[in-house]
Structures are given as C-alpha cells and as structure tokens.
Amino acid sequence: MSGRTEYGLDLLAFAAHPDDAEIGMGGTLVKAALAGQKTGIVDLTFAEMSSNGDVDTRQREAGTASAILGLAVRENLGLPDRGLSQADRSQVDKLVSAIRRHRPRVVFAPYFIDRHPDHVMCSRMVEQAVFNAKLRRYNPEEPAWTVDMLYYYFINDAHTPQLVLDVSDVHERKMEALRAYRSQFEPAGDLADWVPTPLTTGYLDNVAARDRLFGQAHRFAFAEGFIAKGPVAVDRF
C-alpha cells in the first residue's frame, strides 16, 4: 500500500468521452471548485467515433466547458473510442498513471450500468486502476497512491442513488457547461454531415429533469446522484 502524501486533487472524474462527466456530475464539480477544492477530469478518448462534430471541435468545446466548471486539471488519454478494454494492460496503466500523477482524494467513474458500452468499460477500467494504483509493486517506477473513495455517477440511465448532492445553486452553470458542446446537443440540420441522434432531441432537457427528480425527495430544486460499492457516510465529497 502507498504511504500518504499531500493530495493533488480533491475530486477527479474519469469519463469515456468529453461531456460525460459534465452530464453526470457537472454541478458537483462546479460546487466543489467554488468551495476552494481542486477538481479535474480525465477523458479516456477524443470521442472520434461520434456521429456529429470532430475531434478538434470537441476539444475546443471541452476547453470552454472546463473553464465554466472551474477545473484545475483536464487531460485526455487518447485511448481508442469504441476500443476501450480492461483486458489491455497498457490502457489500464494509463489510468493508473493518471491517478498517481494527480493524487486525488476521491475518484468518480461512470455508473457500471449504462446503454453505452464505452461508459460501462470506462467504469470497469477505473475500478481496476484505482485498485492497481495503490499497489507499491505495481509499476513501481511510479509512486503508489491510495484513493479515499470511489463513486459512480449517472450518464444515460437513472437508478436510485445512494447519495445525492444538492446542486440547485450551481445548476445553471452545469447546463452552461453542457451547452458548450454545441456539436453534440444542438440540432444542425443545415450541415451536410449532421445526423440526428438521441443527444440532439431534448437530451439536455432530460438531464435537467433527472437532476430535478433526484432533488425532489429531499426538497432540493436540483441534485446529482451517486452510487458506491459499499456503505456511504460523508459530510462532503
């Protein structure tokens, strides 16, 4: 196991594609940043297989969204979109290196049940990387790092969360960050290479509705929900 040294980031979210973390926990990232915490996102792929937009556009959009979220760090591992594999050690080791480099207190991954296979695979890879990162004899040329907690955020599918965070006061900032991804969420039927997808047919309205539903039971206007594999007791992320 690793010895404890100073944290680098408070919260680090892994995402298969740029915009995944914004969908599931953009409000949480904004709220943490406004409270003085250091936050970051590691995107696994450039989403080069997306039906709309292109890599350069998506990266510019991610840069705009990162500024809105107040991130301290954002990086992309450049793994293959629709080619993620937990069986490929070289891929998982890139996640391990990111964890050891950024030394996060808490890590977030996509929920392990989702209609998009890349989201599911990202979840599995993060879980594996969090475990491997703490082993001092695993890739021993890098200092080992033990994460305090791993949580899972929702992207496409809504399930009953174990934990919800009130993001009412920052929800518009979350939606602003999502609207930065115009290539993904805005219909652009006048473009020759544009095609309609589930993301261009009211997807952002659905995200807001889910956040409203998560908050409803606790009398919050909006909340984001999370799952953990094990008991949860927190006074903050």
| Rounded CA separation 95/132 (Å) | 10
86 is written with which tokens?
């937990």
Identify the CA nearest to 118 among candidates 157, 82, 91, 76: 82
pLDDT at 2 (0 to 100): 44
Q: Which residues contact 8 (CB under 8 A, 6 or more apart)?
A: 38, 101, 102, 103, 104
Mean pLDDT (whole number) for 178-195:
81
Q: Summarize pLDDT for 36-76 with one digit per residue, the tens.
A: 999 999 999 999 999 998 999 999 999 999 999 999 999 99
| pLDDT at position 177 over 50 | yes
Check pLDDT > 80 for residue 233.
no
Q: Are 11 and 174 in contact (CB under 8 A)?
A: no
**Structural domain spans, the chain:** 9-227
Give the pLDDT mean for 176-192. 83
Q: Which residues contact 208 (CB under 8 A, 6 or more apart)?
A: 171, 175, 222
CA geometry: angle 136, 137, 141, nearest 5 deg: 85
Asked whether the beta carbons of 40 and 14 are under 8 A apart, the reply is no
Structure tokens at 126: 């993060």
CATH fourth-level superfamily of 9-227: LmbE-like (3.40.50.10320)
Kindly tell me if the per-residue pLDDT of 201 is higher than 60.
yes
Which class for 219: exposed (0-12), middle (13-18), buried (19 or more C-beta within 10 A)? Answer: exposed
